[in-house]
Amino acid sequence: MTDLATRVAPSGAAPTWRRAAPALLGYAAVRALGLLALVLWSAARDKSAYTLLTARWDALWYTGVAELGYGYEVRLPNGDVHSNLAFFPLLPWLERLGHAVTPLSYADAGLVVSLFASLAAAWGIFAVADHLYGRRAGVCAVLLWAVLPVGIVQSMAYSESLFTALAAWSLYAVLTGRWVTAGVLSLLAGLTRPVGLAVAAAVWVAAVASFVRDARDREGAPSGRARSTAPSPGAPTAVRALGMLLAPLGAAGYVLWVGHRTGGGPFGYLDVQAGWRNGFDGGYAFARFVAEKFTSFPSALAGAGLIVAVALLGWLYVVCVRQRQPLPVLVYGGVVAVLALCASSYFGSKPRLLLPAFPLLLPPARALVRARPRTSALVVAGAAVVSAVYGAFWLNGSGPP
């Protein structure tokens, strides 16, 4: 059986709109249902769905960066300092560009960017899944991403959709041997969110694995069934090296710029995050948060639910490994999940921080392909309704911080 890691699209080109059309139309339908539910729920509560999508939580910070630039901060009564330097610049840059070349406000531009980015993300997810497992798996993967309980975030003026689009297409470029494209997209992903390092890591491990494979081939030793991508036999070493060089420049460049601006040196960005009481602690704070749920009976149910959810994520990743996903895809999905779960604050944000980890959806997508078409349709339709109702309820309540 041909190793999935070495499969290459014959033309090396991205799937056409016609090939991806079922996935994109299905995605658009799910998101339209979610937005309709949000509009109706918000109207019943005398709230503005538009405001919820564009002018609350992180969306306000991104709009502020687009309009005023960096340097704004809020000092809280407890001494914490919330600086807008915590927010990476690509989305605000695009909002500023949209405002400059159209009559749109910064908030409107952010919503438009999110709309197109979400479609690009859906197409990228389809491209990766189609390349690995075929067209039906690609359609199912996109629909599963659309019906996630926090899928409404994909339609907000947040950076998740933009990041997922860049990450998915960077992975697809790696899988098809387009190293410079992969590096450039990884660079842009690194300018979008701190987790852009996951994309850079995927590019690096794929390139290193290809170098190792080449060395074994030169020595005449069997390379075995490697999980790494072997996209373009004979790809020049310099091309792969250039992709590796470009991949981390976005995230590294912004972090170093923040350190220079704040006077904190290479770790200045960590100081900015500390002002938000955020950081990476290996999951200790999250584990303590879950443990505290068991101090009373009602909250214990929530604690048990969190444990089940984390266990499910771990099981899905194990299945991804057993199904022999290519190494860069495994690395990307694993790093995104670890960074989301091991952040030390904003526990309510973890579901949306996991949105870019779409490789975890590939095993259930393959299961839907094997199921009867009617069963798959009922599962997706039911999940779409639940997602729409939950998204409307969520944004009209606590919402994503």
Q: What is the DSSP string of 104-161?
A: --HHHHHHHHHHHHHHHHHHHHHHHHHHHH-HHHHHHHHHHHHTSTTGGGGGSSSSHH
pTM to 2 decimal places? 0.92
**Helix, strand, coil shares, percent, the chain, to 5:** 75, 0, 25
Q: What number of CA atoms fall less than 13 Å from residue 361's CA on the CB side?
A: 23
Per residue in 188-214, pLDDT (tens digit) is: 999 999 999 999 999 999 999 999 988
Residue 401 has a pLDDT of: 64
CA-based nearest residue to 153, from 340, 399, 341: 399
pLDDT over threshold 60, residue 229: no
**Is the pLDDT confidence value at 130 over 90?**
yes
Number of domains the chain is built from: 1
The b/e string for 247-278 (b: 16+ C-beta within 10 A; e otherwise) is bbbbbbebbeebbeeeeeeeebbebbbebeeb
- pLDDT digits over 272-291, tens only? 999 998 888 888 888 888 88
Structural domain harbouring 52: 4-395
| Mean of all residue pLDDT scores within the chain | 90
Residue 90, pLDDT score: 98
Vertex 116: Cα angle to 17 and 337 (nearest 5):
95
Q: pLDDT digit string (tens) for 3-52?
A: 444 343 434 567 888 899 999 999 999 999 999 999 999 999 999 999 99
pLDDT at 160 over 90: yes
Q: Does residue 128 fall inside a structural domain?
A: yes
Residue 221, pLDDT > 60, answer: no
CB 118 within 8 A of CB 31: yes
Residue 54 lies in a domain: yes
pLDDT band at 222 (very low <50, low <70, confident <90, very high): low
pLDDT in tens, 87-127: 999 999 999 999 999 999 999 999 999 999 999 999 999 99
Could you give the CA distance from residue 132 to residue 20 in angstroms, rounded to a whole number? 14
- Spatial distance between the Cα atoms of 140 and 20, rounded to a whole number of angstroms: 11
On whether residue 12 sits in a domain, the answer given is yes
Write b or e for each residue in 81-109: b if 16 or more Cβ atoms lie within 10 A of its Cβ, otherwise e.
Answer: ebbbbbbbbbbbebbbebbeeeebbbbbb
Q: For residue 388, tell me if it sits in a domain.
A: yes
Tell me, yes or no, whether 82 lies in a domain: yes
pLDDT digits (tens, 9 = 90+) for 54-84: 988 899 999 999 999 999 999 988 888 999 9
Q: Would you say residue 228 has pLDDT above 80?
A: no
User: Is residue 179 included in any domain, yes or no?
Assistant: yes
pLDDT score at 365: 97
Residue 401 located in a structural domain = no
Owner of token pair 């972090």:
255
Pairing between β-strand 73-75 and β-strand 81-83 as defined by DSSP bridges? antiparallel
In a domain, 400, yes or no: no
